Chain A
Amino acid sequence: MTQTKKKPDLSDLEFEKALQRLEEIVRTLEANKTTLSESLQLFEEGVKLTAHCNALLDKAEQQVSMLVKGEDGTMKPAPMLPL
């Protein structure tokens, strides 16, 4: 089964990918073809994914940078003060 992938490291999983994986898990559960223990694993993974997504959403401050032309003429991002 494709569902039993090795445990992914969630910390730098992209939001979109996490959402996709979540939906895949739901579809798999809906298909109702997994054993109970597989379902439990999927559920556990799903709960972790939602926590990961929520953590991303919980980031309070948006990171805003402004590109500034450096001495060598290239544009470099610099933190931008709140407007």
Chain B
Amino acid sequence: MNQTVAPETLSVSQLNAVIKAVLDTEPLLSHVMVRGELSNFKHHIQSGHLYMTLKDEKSSIRAVMFASSAKKLTFRPENGMKVIVEGRVAVFERDGQYQLYLTGMQPDGLGALHLAFEQLKKKLEEEGLFDPARKKPIPKTPLKIGVVTASTGAAVRDIIHVLNRRFSAAKVLLYPVLVQGPEAAPMIVEALAWFNREQAADLLIVGRGGGSLEDLWAFNEEIVARAIAESKIPVISAVGHETDFTIADFVADLRAPTPSAAAELAVPDSAALRQRLENVNRLMADLLLRQTSAGRIQVQTLAGHRNMQTPLRYIEDCRLTIDSLIQRVYFSQRQKLDAAHRMLGLSAGKLEALSPLSVLERGFSIAFKENKPVRSAELLSPGDALSLRFAKGGAEVLVTKTYLQSESTEKGAKYDADEKKA
């Protein structure tokens, strides 16, 4: 090369074209990774392109990320954020400026996923999705349990095993989903929607076994978080190991540290339930016994009465009373009979004394007119026919004369004699 050769005069465009060609052919610049801090960050809404300046303590460089790459970012770049970018260096010929054309960006220090996690967590928290007040109570004894996880692997096996051991009365319905990769989140969302649409479960367990942050990523996706929040059926999240926290865990109605623990939390222990049933049964029996024994005491108090204690004696007493009553009745009847007898005897004597026959025996006679005894001469007229009755026999006579003034019994006797002669 000759150093004295005068330089060719170039136009600005030519110069920039040369610079561009040089930079474009430099392998080092065609693919670079650069660490720096973001400033002057602008998100051009209409185009979707991102513009920014990347700087460190001494220097800075402009950078652009086109919308096609920007869409793939898992976090929101912000001013002051330390990032590692990936891209190439090229010249923007119009301005004569070289800049970084970015194809990728991730936070420096914190992983990109971690940052996205923090950002989504913050966003949903501000929306109130983690509010304890909006969490649904977990049913005590769910009889239909929906499980959303992979159909193979430890998680589903652990869940079913524990459910069966603790509470085999519950039916388990597994909705198999992919639990990692880009299809996982939409599938989990669809599974949650299906259970809610079909009302096919009292309780849902959503989760997977342990893995890296990337493996668990589906459970940090916004659509999954929102599907869990919107579920009318209570959701227990069961993602990874105890130390793994996902957005799904914060939104779920209950977070279980592992899939097995989710199953433990989902159902009561049959043994404990059996114990509870037994206690209830015993309590019922005790209460009933209390009531019956109260009744028994009442009965016993009543039974303590003399007559209740020895019913035979009571019967005997009754019998004695009856006997004495009978005696009294008998005695009084006896007395009445005796009195009657006596009265009868007296009356018979009187009757004897009154008998007209005895009078006739003494020589009196009775006169009958038309079968009626004659007590007075007034009733008689001469010519009347009379019947006379004597102690022995009788006679038919005619009245010849009557008088009221009694003359003498002799007169009568004389009549007797006369009449006899006649």
Interface of A with B (CB < 8 Å)?
14-16, 19, 22-23, 25-26, 29-30, 32, 34, 36, 39-40, 42-43, 46-47, 50, 53-54, 56-57, 59-67, 75, 77, 80, 83
Contact = CB atoms under 8 A, between A and B. Distances in A.
A23 B288 contact: no
Given A15-B141, A36-B295, A61-B168, A43 B277 contact: no
Interface stretch (B85-93, B173-181, B341-349): B173-181
B157 interface: yes
Interface string B280-292: 1101110110111
Interface of B: 139-141, 143, 151, 156-157, 160-161, 163-164, 167-176, 194, 270, 273-274, 276-278, 280-281, 283-285, 287-288, 290-292, 295
Q: A60, A61, A80 — which one has the most chain B CB atoms within 10 A of its CB?
A: A80
Nearest to B295: A36
A57 B168 CA distance: 7
B170 to A, nearest CB: 7
A65 B174 contact: yes
Q: B163, B174, B274, B292 — which one has the most chain A CB atoms within 10 A of its CB?
A: B174
A60 B283 CA distance: 28
Given A53-B277, A64-B172, A67-B175, A43 B285 contact: yes
A25 B283 CA distance: 10
A50 B281 contact: yes
Contact of A43 (B156, B157, B284): B284
A15 B172 CA distance: 16
A54 B274 contact: yes
Contact of A36 (B151, B194, B278, B291): B291
Nearest to B194: A75
9 contacts: A25-B284, A39-B287, A39-B288, A57-B167, A61-B164, A63-B172, A65-B171, A65-B173, A83-B157
Contacts of A61: 164, 168
A59 B169 contact: yes
B280 A46 contact: yes
Given A62-B163, A66-B174, A22 B280 contact: yes
A27 B253 CA distance: 31
A17 to B, nearest CB: 10
Contacts of A56: 169
Contacts of B287: 26, 29-30, 32, 39
